[in-house]
Structure 1
Amino acid sequence: MFDKIMEAQQKAGEVKTRLDAVTVTGIAEGGKITVTANGNKVVQSVTIDDSLLKDTDKEQLEELLVIAINKAMEQADNVSQSEMAAMTKEMFGGLGGLFQK
Protein backbone atom coordinates (compact mmCIF):
# COMPACT_ATOMS: atom_id res chain seq x y z
CA MET A 1 0.00 0.00 0.00
CA PHE A 2 2.86 2.36 0.86
CA ASP A 3 4.25 1.78 -2.64
CA LYS A 4 0.96 2.97 -4.12
CA ILE A 5 1.05 6.14 -2.02
CA MET A 6 4.61 6.85 -3.13
CA GLU A 7 3.61 6.19 -6.73
CA ALA A 8 0.68 8.61 -6.39
CA GLN A 9 2.99 11.31 -5.02
CA GLN A 10 5.42 10.74 -7.85
CA LYS A 11 2.66 10.94 -10.45
CA ALA A 12 1.33 14.16 -8.87
CA GLY A 13 4.82 15.62 -9.19
CA GLU A 14 4.94 14.56 -12.83
CA VAL A 15 1.58 16.23 -13.49
CA LYS A 16 2.83 19.46 -11.89
CA THR A 17 5.92 19.37 -14.07
CA ARG A 18 3.81 18.81 -17.20
CA LEU A 19 1.49 21.67 -16.22
CA ASP A 20 4.50 23.96 -15.77
CA ALA A 21 5.30 23.33 -19.44
CA VAL A 22 1.75 24.03 -20.68
CA THR A 23 1.05 27.56 -21.87
CA VAL A 24 -2.44 29.05 -21.77
CA THR A 25 -3.54 32.47 -22.98
CA GLY A 26 -6.33 34.83 -22.04
CA ILE A 27 -7.20 37.54 -24.55
CA ALA A 28 -9.39 40.61 -24.15
CA GLU A 29 -10.38 43.54 -26.32
CA GLY A 30 -9.71 41.76 -29.59
CA GLY A 31 -6.16 40.80 -28.68
CA LYS A 32 -5.11 44.17 -27.32
CA ILE A 33 -4.53 42.56 -23.93
CA THR A 34 -2.92 39.13 -23.68
CA VAL A 35 -2.20 37.26 -20.47
CA THR A 36 -0.02 34.17 -20.70
CA ALA A 37 0.13 31.65 -17.87
CA ASN A 38 1.13 28.04 -17.34
CA GLY A 39 -1.10 25.11 -16.47
CA ASN A 40 -0.37 25.65 -12.78
CA LYS A 41 -1.99 29.11 -12.91
CA VAL A 42 1.24 31.08 -12.74
CA VAL A 43 1.03 34.22 -14.87
CA GLN A 44 4.07 34.40 -17.13
CA SER A 45 3.42 37.65 -18.98
CA VAL A 46 0.95 40.43 -19.66
CA THR A 47 0.98 42.30 -22.96
CA ILE A 48 -0.99 45.50 -23.53
CA ASP A 49 -1.15 47.14 -26.94
CA ASP A 50 0.08 50.74 -26.88
CA SER A 51 -3.06 51.99 -28.62
CA LEU A 52 -5.18 50.63 -25.79
CA LEU A 53 -3.11 52.55 -23.25
CA LYS A 54 -3.80 55.77 -25.13
CA ASP A 55 -7.53 55.19 -25.64
CA THR A 56 -8.57 53.58 -22.35
CA ASP A 57 -8.88 54.96 -18.85
CA LYS A 58 -7.50 53.19 -15.79
CA GLU A 59 -10.80 51.62 -14.75
CA GLN A 60 -11.49 50.16 -18.20
CA LEU A 61 -7.95 48.83 -18.43
CA GLU A 62 -8.29 47.15 -15.03
CA GLU A 63 -11.57 45.52 -16.09
CA LEU A 64 -10.02 44.24 -19.32
CA LEU A 65 -7.03 42.85 -17.43
CA VAL A 66 -9.37 40.96 -15.09
CA ILE A 67 -11.19 39.50 -18.09
CA ALA A 68 -7.95 38.35 -19.74
CA ILE A 69 -6.57 36.91 -16.50
CA ASN A 70 -9.80 35.03 -15.79
CA LYS A 71 -9.80 33.57 -19.30
CA ALA A 72 -6.23 32.35 -18.85
CA MET A 73 -7.05 30.87 -15.43
CA GLU A 74 -10.11 29.10 -16.86
CA GLN A 75 -7.95 27.50 -19.54
CA ALA A 76 -5.39 26.51 -16.91
CA ASP A 77 -8.19 24.92 -14.86
CA ASN A 78 -9.36 22.93 -17.87
CA VAL A 79 -5.87 21.65 -18.63
CA SER A 80 -5.24 20.83 -14.97
CA GLN A 81 -8.53 18.94 -14.63
CA SER A 82 -7.74 16.91 -17.74
CA GLU A 83 -4.29 16.00 -16.42
CA MET A 84 -5.65 15.10 -12.99
CA ALA A 85 -8.45 13.00 -14.50
CA ALA A 86 -5.91 11.07 -16.56
CA MET A 87 -3.73 10.52 -13.50
CA THR A 88 -6.71 9.40 -11.40
CA LYS A 89 -7.85 6.98 -14.06
CA GLU A 90 -4.36 5.55 -14.27
CA MET A 91 -4.12 5.26 -10.47
CA PHE A 92 -7.49 3.60 -10.01
CA GLY A 93 -6.64 1.18 -12.76
CA GLY A 94 -3.55 0.27 -10.74
CA LEU A 95 -5.43 0.12 -7.42
CA GLY A 96 -7.58 -2.76 -8.65
CA GLY A 97 -4.69 -5.08 -7.99
CA LEU A 98 -4.18 -3.63 -4.52
CA PHE A 99 -7.47 -4.98 -3.21
CA GLN A 100 -6.84 -8.44 -4.58
CA LYS A 101 -3.62 -8.94 -2.57
Structure 2
Amino acid sequence: MFGDMMGMMNKLKETQKKVEETKERLNHVLVDEKSNDDKLKVTLTANRTIKSISIDDDLLKDKDMLEDYLILTLNKAIEKATRVNETELAAVAKDGMPNIPGLDMFK
Protein backbone atom coordinates (compact mmCIF):
# COMPACT_ATOMS: atom_id res chain seq x y z
CA MET A 1 0.00 0.00 0.00
CA PHE A 2 2.72 2.48 0.95
CA GLY A 3 4.71 1.55 -2.14
CA ASP A 4 1.73 2.44 -4.29
CA MET A 5 1.30 5.70 -2.40
CA MET A 6 4.97 6.60 -2.82
CA GLY A 7 4.78 5.71 -6.50
CA MET A 8 1.75 7.98 -6.93
CA MET A 9 3.47 10.82 -5.05
CA ASN A 10 6.57 10.48 -7.24
CA LYS A 11 4.40 10.45 -10.36
CA LEU A 12 2.61 13.61 -9.18
CA LYS A 13 5.94 15.37 -8.50
CA GLU A 14 7.15 14.34 -11.94
CA THR A 15 3.96 15.66 -13.50
CA GLN A 16 4.28 18.95 -11.62
CA LYS A 17 7.79 19.33 -13.03
CA LYS A 18 6.53 18.59 -16.56
CA VAL A 19 3.73 21.15 -16.14
CA GLU A 20 6.28 23.81 -15.12
CA GLU A 21 8.48 22.89 -18.09
CA THR A 22 5.47 23.12 -20.40
CA LYS A 23 4.56 26.56 -19.02
CA GLU A 24 8.10 27.71 -19.72
CA ARG A 25 8.00 26.26 -23.25
CA LEU A 26 4.70 28.05 -23.91
CA ASN A 27 6.54 31.35 -23.42
CA HIS A 28 8.14 30.59 -26.79
CA VAL A 29 5.04 29.38 -28.64
CA LEU A 30 3.71 32.33 -30.64
CA VAL A 31 0.10 32.92 -31.61
CA ASP A 32 -0.66 35.38 -34.40
CA GLU A 33 -3.97 37.11 -35.00
CA LYS A 34 -5.01 39.86 -37.37
CA SER A 35 -8.05 41.94 -38.15
CA ASN A 36 -10.19 40.86 -41.09
CA ASP A 37 -8.69 43.58 -43.28
CA ASP A 38 -5.10 43.06 -42.07
CA LYS A 39 -4.87 46.60 -40.65
CA LEU A 40 -3.95 45.30 -37.20
CA LYS A 41 -1.76 42.33 -36.38
CA VAL A 42 -0.84 41.04 -32.94
CA THR A 43 1.43 38.29 -31.69
CA LEU A 44 1.10 36.74 -28.24
CA THR A 45 2.81 33.87 -26.50
CA ALA A 46 0.67 30.86 -25.58
CA ASN A 47 0.98 32.20 -22.02
CA ARG A 48 -0.86 35.32 -23.23
CA THR A 49 2.00 37.83 -23.17
CA ILE A 50 1.84 40.37 -25.98
CA LYS A 51 5.00 40.21 -28.09
CA SER A 52 4.15 42.60 -30.93
CA ILE A 53 1.45 44.81 -32.38
CA SER A 54 1.49 46.13 -35.94
CA ILE A 55 -0.90 48.98 -36.77
CA ASP A 56 -1.70 50.26 -40.25
CA ASP A 57 -1.22 54.03 -40.60
CA ASP A 58 -4.91 54.48 -41.53
CA LEU A 59 -5.93 53.32 -38.05
CA LEU A 60 -3.71 55.92 -36.41
CA LYS A 61 -5.97 58.65 -37.79
CA ASP A 62 -9.07 57.43 -35.93
CA LYS A 63 -8.63 56.78 -32.21
CA ASP A 64 -12.06 55.19 -31.71
CA MET A 65 -11.60 52.83 -34.64
CA LEU A 66 -8.12 51.87 -33.43
CA GLU A 67 -9.49 51.08 -29.98
CA ASP A 68 -12.21 48.89 -31.50
CA TYR A 69 -9.66 47.06 -33.64
CA LEU A 70 -7.39 46.50 -30.64
CA ILE A 71 -10.19 45.14 -28.48
CA LEU A 72 -11.52 42.76 -31.14
CA THR A 73 -8.16 41.51 -32.37
CA LEU A 74 -6.55 41.16 -28.95
CA ASN A 75 -9.57 39.27 -27.63
CA LYS A 76 -9.39 36.84 -30.57
CA ALA A 77 -5.66 36.37 -30.00
CA ILE A 78 -6.14 35.81 -26.27
CA GLU A 79 -8.83 33.20 -26.95
CA LYS A 80 -6.55 31.38 -29.40
CA ALA A 81 -3.57 31.51 -27.01
CA THR A 82 -5.76 30.26 -24.15
CA ARG A 83 -6.88 27.25 -26.21
CA VAL A 84 -3.26 26.36 -27.02
CA ASN A 85 -2.24 26.83 -23.38
CA GLU A 86 -5.08 24.75 -21.95
CA THR A 87 -4.65 21.97 -24.51
CA GLU A 88 -0.92 21.66 -23.84
CA LEU A 89 -1.25 21.74 -20.05
CA ALA A 90 -4.18 19.29 -20.05
CA ALA A 91 -2.16 16.82 -22.15
CA VAL A 92 0.74 16.95 -19.69
CA ALA A 93 -1.55 16.65 -16.68
CA LYS A 94 -3.50 13.74 -18.18
CA ASP A 95 -0.33 11.89 -19.10
CA GLY A 96 1.08 12.30 -15.61
CA MET A 97 -1.91 11.38 -13.51
CA PRO A 98 -1.54 8.14 -11.56
CA ASN A 99 -4.01 5.40 -12.35
CA ILE A 100 -6.47 5.63 -9.45
CA PRO A 101 -9.35 3.19 -9.88
CA GLY A 102 -12.70 4.94 -10.11
CA LEU A 103 -11.12 8.34 -10.76
CA ASP A 104 -11.47 8.98 -14.48
CA MET A 105 -11.02 12.77 -14.57
CA PHE A 106 -10.03 13.07 -18.21
CA LYS A 107 -12.61 11.10 -20.16
Q: Above 0.5 in TM-score?
A: yes
Q: Normalization by structure 2: what TM-score?
A: 0.77
Preserved contact between residue 59 and residue 65 of structure 2 (Cα < 8 Å)? no
Q: Normalization by structure 1: what TM-score?
A: 0.81
Aligned length: 94
Match of 1:85 in 2: 90
Measure the CA separation in 2 of the matches of 1:89 and 1:6.
Answer: 14
Unaligned 5+ residue runs, structure 2? 1-7, 102-107
Task: Give the aligned residue type for 1:85.
Answer: A
Match of 1:73 in 2: 78
CA RMSD between the two structures: 1.7
Would you identify which runs of 4 or more consecutive aligned residues in structure 1 move more than 6 Å? Answer: none
Unaligned 5+ residue runs, structure 1? none
Match of 1:28 in 2: 35
Judging by fraction of residues, say which structure has more helix: 1
Residues 39-62 of structure 1, C-alpha deviation per residue, up to 9 Å, x if partnerless?
0000001110113323xx211110
Match of 1:49 in 2: 56
Match of 2:22 in 1: 15
Preserved contact between residue 40 and residue 76 of structure 1 (Cα < 8 Å)? yes
